[in-house]
Structure 1
């Protein structure tokens, strides 16, 4: 999450610096998006390593690797070398996200697990808003300056090494402790597929809202930043309320979340007035704030300790595959429909259709999320 929001404000300055590089208009945006692709590809493998060896050790090592690869553009002077460093950032981030979520599920169960998984989304959203503003502030001096923030990961690794612990499988009541468990493909097939779609919906406005506002006549960066912050606040509120609504089943929550997200996107398409666009963005932000912890809890609660790393890795990979596909899908739909507004409308309708499929076709449990036993 850090890279996408931290570097967005300085992309134009990176383009200027590498203006003589062939294909710079394509390569510079890839600096932003390529970590998401390698999170999607790397997270399942990170989960397998976490299950086989040691979650905590993998987390600490990749935090240091994240700091090293993240700060590499401070001294690299080739866009190809910077892209290679961003690939390493994605691989490290895949392990970090998988291990963090797996450890949350290992450390807590029941209502406490629900609360911390919701808190994870809330903190990520608030941090994203802060880093977006910080990236613009630091980038005023030089496009390289924001990359210094990656060094914080190395500092954070110190208290993590001291305070976190590697949980033991025997403490989780796993009767198959010591046995090699297969990959949880069947368990996570439906949650992962829905999560890919959820990732597309979640990231659509994160990427496209500034373009929507610009098309509506809002060109002031401060105003665009304010609306983006308001949407992020709505996302944080939704994530913060997740623990209170987790007594509902995944089926009920997903229907509401996808339906409200779809209505928000359709509202943005239908509106010409900026206040209505803001209302649609807030509506979509709030519902996606609930959506992510719903999908994550549904997936993680079904996993025993021995499969939790791989299962969490599969879910993380699915989410970031959705993030990577989101701008590509919107770009293709924009070309096919003749505008960004109609493209958002198509995604809105697809979100409503998915809500209907959750009710009628897809196998989604209706049992309360906070009542599912965790091993």
Structure 2
């Protein structure tokens, strides 16, 4: 027993005197970051790198926030400003240029021509934005918008004013295209869908505000509302400081950030994927503006006598539109196969109610339902198109979508007039338009049922393989 104890003490002493070996990477308790003396040192270039880590010296990735969103939403209101601001002073404008040949035709065109030009040039604006830089194009368009927007303050020729309004439409096309594309660049998934819905909400709400402002300033003369176009140039400085040119998601560290590379300039737009969204967007533009333009005439025929009553009912429809746009963020997780037919169905039902029982309370109900449906429809169409586009295609794709929407706006009164001429009046024409909306909704449902439309993540429409 004594001998065994002495042997144990000797072994313990010998173990204490031995130098302790360092843990190696083969030990189950070893940390990968601890040095392993059995593996020779290697140069840093030979060590495997973290694919998610930025390259040495690369600038930090910038993240968009409320400041960028506020600027883009404010800029998105500029095309709406051009469409509605001077509507209250058109009678004064007509009296001022009464001696001009054709003034009775040209004065209303002063209001509507920017939307027509926007619809015709938005796709070209998208090409320029993709080839140069969306941020730079946006800044230049905002400055140009203020210059030509305020031109009627000192122009004394109706034709010169009309020419300035044509140029205004060109700058509006660049503004709405770049704003929508930058929202698609800065955010993704559910947040992108929510912010695009917010864009439609802010724009529709701004239309009501601009009408009130234009009417108030109109008491000072027909030129006074044109001062408001200076608002765009006031946004240029904060936009220049707070917005940046986004990089491709898979190439954040490309050295040349000033201009897009050859791949970005030549990436083909997926025409087949965008065909159906753009066609439905064109019809949506016709549908969206049909009842707001015709509502005063419908209400007058239904017995609403005062301008104040008509204005209040129009405001209720605008509230319905705003409510639909606000709700879109919560419904954006649904497929367009579900949303688009449902929204077209709501608009069709509202127009059907207006047509079937033309009394003031029923017209109010139908107008609110129609506004709610179209308020949901517009952001759905934008997200449907934007989510089918890669970074290199986004300017051209959003330009096509915006052009289709505003060209539909220009066609809307013409379409209702044509339908009314064939059916016996404005009210039956609106009823036929509602029936067409229902047919289009069913057609979209049947067409997309054959596809694999769905979601890959909340708030993002999945891009299918073949087909629209």
TM-score (norm 2): 0.77
Match for residue 304 of structure 1?
Answer: 390
Q: Any residues of structure 2 matched to 1:146-225 within 5 Å, and which?
A: 146-169=225-248, 171=250, 178-179=262-263, 180-225=266-311
Match for residue 376 of structure 2?
Answer: 290
* 1:6 partnered with 2:85: yes
Match for residue 459 of structure 2?
Answer: 370
Following TM superposition, by how much is the alpha carbon of 1:170 offset from its aligned partner in structure 2, in angstroms? Answer: 5.2
| Cα pair 2:119 2:407 within 8 Å, conserved | yes
Deviations 1:185-237 (A, max 9, x none): 11211110111011100111221112211222223222222111111111111
Q: Any residues of structure 2 matched to 1:78-93 within 5 Å, and which?
A: 78-93=157-172
Deviations 1:269-306 (A, max 9, x none): 12221011011110010111110110100100010000
User: d(CA) in 2 for partners of 1:364 and 1:271?
Assistant: 39
| Cα pair 1:38 1:90 within 8 Å, conserved | yes
Following TM superposition, by how much is the alpha carbon of 1:177 offset from its aligned partner in structure 2, in angstroms? Answer: 6.8
Match for residue 119 of structure 2?
Answer: 40
User: d(CA) in 1 for partners of 2:251 and 2:82?
Assistant: 35
**Which structure: greater helix fraction?**
1
Distance 1:172 1:273, change over 3 A: farther
Distance 1:174 1:186, change over 3 A: farther
Deviations 1:314-346 (A, max 9, x none): 101111111111011112222222211011011
| Cα pair 2:325 2:375 within 8 Å, conserved | yes
- Structure with max Cα Rg: 2
Match for residue 348 of structure 1?
Answer: 434
User: d(CA) in 2 for partners of 1:359 and 1:151?
Assistant: 44
User: d(CA) in 2 for partners of 1:109 and 1:64?
Assistant: 28
* 1:281 partnered with 2:360: no
RMSD: 1.9
Match for residue 181 of structure 2?
Answer: 102
| Cα pair 2:193 2:460 within 8 Å, conserved | no
Q: Any residues of structure 2 matched to 1:186-265 within 5 Å, and which?
A: 186-265=272-351
Paired residue for 1:126, among 205, 208, 216? 205
Long gaps (5+) in structure 1: none
Match for residue 62 of structure 1?
Answer: 141
User: d(CA) in 1 for partners of 2:116 and 2:310?
Assistant: 27
| Cα pair 2:336 2:461 within 8 Å, conserved | no
Long gaps (5+) in structure 2: 1-79, 255-259, 464-468
TM-score (norm 1): 0.95
User: d(CA) in 1 for partners of 2:345 and 2:240?
Assistant: 42
Match for residue 145 of structure 1?
Answer: 224
